[in-house]
Amino acid sequence: MLTSDLSSQTIPYLHLQDKVYQALQLMNDNQVTHLPIVDGEKYVGIISEDDLLLAENEHAELSELQQSFANTFVKNDEHFLRAIQVAAENGLSVVPVIDGENEIIGAVTYNDLLKHASAFMSLHEPGGLVVLEMPSNQYSFSEISKILETNDAQITQLNTFNNAETGMMRVTIRINKPDISDVVAAFQRYEYDVKYFFGEELYDNELRSNYDNLMNYLKI
């Protein structure tokens, strides 16, 4: 999915002649803390609520605050995961989407990006999640796949993240099997570092633990 497929026209744009108080009101009305600024159809930048609140005069035009504009955006032909990266790295509640002519074609909120990411990773479908960590040079997709197959599980989604500073890789695996205790045990037998795991049996255990804690509290 490209960013052009998910950009929304419901997010308003600010204009250079808009006043500070008007921009703050628009942010409040749309429950965001950032909005893109345009000059005609051209994208000028994005400004945050924090920068607006620092303005000495709420009736000042945004053109007077150009030093506070951030030139942050994604192109309309980029994958939508790039928009999530840009939002996370810059702490944005809204990501502007522009075309090759620097004209704005829409914007997407961070909340909507997370919803698309959830659908992309099939998080609404039954299954489990296992997160492994290992040195980058020890990553083997074939070995991971074999371990899962021997435990009657299949990969439905796999993502990797390399930490250049530590040389470690984090592997997030979504599988089609909700009961993952045997899968976790198998990875541990092969000396994999299992950082996190989520499955139905973990949920049941946590639910039982919370129930027991409540009962103990009521006995006091």
What confidence tens digit (pLDDT) does each residue in 64-84 have?
999 999 999 999 988 887 888
User: Which of 48-57, 117-126, 201-210 ranks highest by mean pLDDT?
Assistant: 48-57
Contacts 24+ apart (CB under 8 A), 83-86: 83/3, 83/6, 83/108, 83/113, 84/110, 84/113, 84/114, 84/117
Helix H or strand E encompassing 168: strand 168-175
- Delineate the domains of the chain, giving CATH numbers in brackets: 3-117 (3.10.580.10), 128-211 (3.30.2130.10)
What confidence tens digit (pLDDT) does each residue in 119-157 have?
766 666 678 888 899 999 999 999 999 999 999 999 988
Q: Could you tell me where the DSSP H helices lie in the chain?
A: 20-30, 49-53, 80-90, 110-120, 141-149, 181-189, 200-219
Residue 210 has pLDDT above 60, yes or no: no
> pTM higher than 0.75 for the full model?
no
